[in-house]
Amino acid sequence: MTPAARSSVPKPTRVQLFVTCLVDRLFPDTGFSVATVLERLGLEVVCPPLQTCCGQPAFNAGFLDDARALARHTIDVLAAAPDPVVMPSGSCGDMVIHRYASLLADDPAYAERARDLAARTYEFTRFLVDVMGVTDVGATSDARLTYHACCHGLRGLGVDHQPRELLAQVKGADVVPLEEADVCCGFGGLFAVKMADISSAMLTRKLDCIERTGADTVVVTDVSCAMHMNGGLHRRGCPIRVRHIADVLAGSEAKR
């Protein structure tokens, strides 16, 4: 998006934060990092209290009725207010933006609301750069960073230049390239358990690339991929850590 196009988008003053189930219970600090960055831009952050899970695990496993139940719940939670919805995940974002409407196409009570929600749901970095028109969020870091492009954000939502632009503006940080940055880490949700051997082989390839960068921190836009890669790095005894971009941009030291 050009700077002119960015500035022509009316900027919201309040957002709804959908933290995602993984952030909620596994990486709560990341949720606060997201809120910190958004608040730094002067936005009021509301976190609708009844949110749980977008339903993607069931959807990707082919259990559409279970996925629909969770999609309806999420729509009920997020459609109560008209504000844009921000998610620190390209994966859950892709689910809400690209899957809800077809999943609920035959449900007269939800089809229209699913489309409405999709139209105002944003992955976190896309929201910062494409909607708010900001790449410098006042972050500082003395880390040596590299960037891995998470698949669903990259190929589902076009999330790639936004996080890279945001990282380029982090003062004091050294950003180094990651070989095969756009190749899947092998997570894939249940795939990592059901097809654990293939998933592990993909992870090995990814971690080898990471170890060759000389970076101390790998930045991603999905905590699910971070959880997967960190689990492998920790098992290897490698000190490199994968962090959600919000944790870097908030300048806060998250635990994982």
Partner 1 sequence: MNAAPASFYRRTADALADARLRGAVGRVTASVRRSRQAALDRLPDADAWRDHARQLRAHTIAHLDRYLDEFAAAIEARGGHVFYAPTAEDAIAYVTSLVRSRNLKTAVKSKSMISEEIDLNARLEAAGVRVVETDLGEYVVQLADDHPSHIVMPIIHKTRGEIADLFRAKAGATDADLTDVASMTQFARRTLRPEFLRADLGVSGVNFGVASTGTLCVCTNEGNGRLVTTLPRVHVAMMGIERLVPTPEDLTVMLQILGRSATGQNLTVYTNLINGPRPADETDGPSELHVVLVDNGRSRVLGSELAEILYCIRCGACLNACPVYQEIGGHAYGSVYPGPFGSVLTPALRGLETFHDLPHASSLCGACREACPVRIDIPRMLLALRADDAKAHHAPWWIATGLRVYRWVATSPRRFQTAGRLTAKLMRTTSRDGWIRWLPPPLSGWTSTRDFPVMAVESFQERWARRTKPPEQNPS
Q: Enumerate residues 82-121 that contact partner 1 by CB under 8 A.
A: none
CB of 75 to partner 1, least distance (A): 12
Question: Residue holding tokens 């196009």?
Answer: 5
CA distance 244 to 254: 9
Phi-psi region of 20 (alpha: psi -120 to 50; beta: other; left: phi over 0): left
3-class secondary structure, 16? strand
Q: What are the two backbone dihedrals, phi and then psi, of residue 143, each rounded to the nearest 5 degrees?
A: -85, 160
Q: Applying CB under 8 A, which of residues 93, 156, 163, 251 lies at the interface with partner 1? A: 156
CB of 29 to partner 1, least distance (A): 8
State the DSSP string of 128-190. Answer: IIIIS--S----B--SEEEE---HIIIIIH--SHHHHHHHHTSBT-EE---TTTTS--S-TTT
- Whether 147 contacts 178, CB under 8 Å: yes
Nearer to partner 1, 101 or 134 (CB): 101
x/- site string to partner 1, residues 54 to 83, per CB under 8 A? -x-xxxxxxxx-x--xx--x----------
Residue 14 in the binding site for partner 1 (CB under 8 A): no
| Total of chain residues touching partner 1, rule CB under 8 A | 67
Nearer to partner 1, 45 or 111 (CB): 45
- Whether 220 contacts 148, CB under 8 Å: yes
Residue 196 in the binding site for partner 1 (CB under 8 A): yes
Residue 246 in the binding site for partner 1 (CB under 8 A): no
CB of 6 to partner 1, least distance (A): 23
Region of 45-53, 107-115, 120-128, 129-137 interacting with partner 1 (CB under 8 A): 45-53
CA distance 100 to 98: 6
- Which residues in this chain contact partner 1 in the complex, by CB under 8 A? 19, 21, 23-28, 31-32, 35, 47, 49-53, 55, 57-64, 66, 69-70, 73, 151-152, 154-156, 182-184, 186-205, 227-228, 230-232, 234-235, 255-256
